[in-house]
Amino acid sequence: MVSRFLYIPNLIGYSRMILMFIAYYVHETHPLVFIICYALSQLLDMLDGRAARAFNQATKFGAMLDMVTDRCSTVGLMLTLSARYPQYTFWCHVFIWLDICSHWCHMLSSGKKSHKLILGGPWLLRYYYATNWFMVLLIIGAEGFPLCLYALSFKEMFPPESIPLIKLGMFSMLPLFILKHIINVIQFVHASILLDEPDEEKAK
């Protein structure tokens, strides 16, 4: 029998981690390599869940690996961005805290095997988790906007004609980036309320 650590979804998770470490290692000198590795890691995130369902290989370890990789990749991107734009360091820290707290509280409150499942809650949060194209679109915006900002900090290393396209992509994804973090706030508040419910029942 194959070890659960070698299940296909988990192998995808390990591949994502390797890509992220490569990206972080070269982020100061090879921006295109950073962007490609980071983007590939995020694309693979769309495959691990499908693989888990297709091969009946969903495990608690896999859910944890997916969650930790998602959160650490976002932290790494924000830290990289704060290094390129020191004036935005405060906001990078805000987004790091918001991302970790909202998803971690959601996973604890749901008691599910995945942080991408939800029952009940505000309609926007339910729509986000129930509508795959909407979730993918907002994730693209949440990751793409800071990636474009990162790319613009290396203007001299990209063809001049590509800069307007990068700026167009950045401004196009800004509303998606904002909406994704609004949903993170909603998710954090909703999860916090759910986590507090058992304590309230015990106190009665």
Among 45, 48, 70, 99, which one carries the catalytic annotation? 70
The CA-based dihedral angle spanning residues 16, 127, 144, 18, taken in that order and rounded to the nearest 10 degrees: 0
Q: Please tell me the distance from the alpha carbon of residue 56 to that of residue 59, in angstroms, as a whole number.
A: 9
- What separation in angstroms does the CA of 7 have from each of 12, 43, 62, 114, 173? 9, 19, 9, 16, 34
Q: Is 66 annotated as catalytic? A: no
The answer to whether residues 142 and 180 touch, using CB atoms and an 8 Å cutoff, is yes
Q: Please tell me the distance from the alpha carbon of residue 150 to that of residue 34, in angstroms, as a whole number.
A: 10
The answer to whether residues 35 and 20 touch, using CB atoms and an 8 Å cutoff, is no
Residues with a catalytic annotation lie at 70
